[in-house]
Amino acid sequence: MSLIVADTETAFAEEVLAASEPVVVDFWAPWCGPCRMVSPEVEALAEQYVGRVKFVKTNVDETPEVAARYGVMGIPMIGLFKDGELVRNITGARPRHAIEDDLGLKFYAPTKTAASVSDEAKPAAAPAGRPAGQY
């Protein structure tokens, strides 16, 4: 699984604050219905951005000091950390594309190679039995 659990202050410091890559933190609690709804969306994003963005889950009941330090007033709160600093956050359950857009994650998507761009530019093959250009 691509999600890392950081349910202590030490783990949070190691996994989030000391990370060299951008980190998305899902601040949640097991009793929170919206948190359970958004969890699969965060997990899917973690798989999509593996190797480019780290994804961490932090239980606010286990780490109240961390939650207070970052102003978590409602959950789920999903934050983007860069160089140990919280730079963006959103509160409430939302679909994967909204999380991705609101946190600016598409900036970390892989760039297209020249080969993939040239493959996209190729015309589609003619249907079987018809010469190219006659549709």
* Catalytic site includes residue 32: yes
C-alpha to C-alpha distance for 102 and 34, rounded to whole angstroms: 17
Which alpha helices (DSSP H) does the chain contain, by range? 9-12, 33-48, 64-69, 96-103, 114-121
DSSP letter (8 states) at residue 125:
P
Cis peptide before 76 (omega within 30 of 0): yes
* Catalytic site includes residue 124: no
Strands 3-5 and 77-82: unpaired
C-alpha to C-alpha distance for 39 and 45, rounded to whole angstroms: 10
Q: Name the active-site residue from 4, 35, 42, 99.
A: 35
- Element holding 75 (H helix, E strand): none
Q: Name the active-site residue from 24, 32, 38, 99.
A: 32
Residues with a catalytic annotation lie at: 32, 35
